[in-house]
Amino acid sequence: MRSHGVADFPDPDSGGQIQKITNAAQQLGVSDSRFNAASAACQALWPYQLPTQAQQRQQLSADLKLARCMRSHGVPSFPDPTVGPAGQAVFVISSQAGFNPYSAPIKAKAVTCERALGGGTVLPPVTVSP
């Protein structure tokens, strides 16, 4: 970013995270067009890349298997995943579903299913809706 005209772009913190800046261009003393051009030029270097469509389909397929596994392990109302706004899989669980997704028994079943499916399958974010 600095080499593309955003001289005051911050260093990452000790954990490797770059601080989120609202109104970044203004706070960093550059025009929106300069900031956007630098961001576009550096996009491939950004460590937080969105998954490709193929990766999204693969993850959704794995999450569907996880949902079926959860149902087969005694959680009959466990939903299929949906696709969130950033293309990520999300399980939206109604508060009326009859189980607490954060409870120890449900988490234990999720771990059992993750292990059974292998290949790095992990429970994606869970959202509880009214």
Domain boundaries, the chain: 2-45, 53-129
pLDDT at position 123 over 70: no
Which one is predicted more confidently, 37 or 16? Answer: 37
| Structure tokens given for 29 | 């003393």
The neighbouring-strand residues paired with 91 are 126
Which one is predicted more confidently, 121 or 19? Answer: 19
Report the pLDDT value the prediction gives residue 20, as an integer from 0 to 100: 75
Average pLDDT over residues 1-8: 93
Q: For residue range 63-119, what is the model confidence (pLDDT) as tens digits?
A: 899 899 999 999 999 999 888 776 777 888 888 888 888 888 988 898 888 887 775
Mean pLDDT score of the chain: 83
The rounded percent of the chain whose pLDDT value lies above 90 is: 25
With residue 71 as reference, give the H or E element that holds it: helix 53-72
113: exposed, middle or buried (C-beta count within 10 Å: 0-12, 13-18, 19+)? buried
Report the pLDDT value the prediction gives residue 48, as an integer from 0 to 100: 67
Backbone angles phi, psi at 51, to 5 degrees: -65, 150
Which one is predicted more confidently, 129 or 34? Answer: 34
The whole model's pTM is what? 0.58
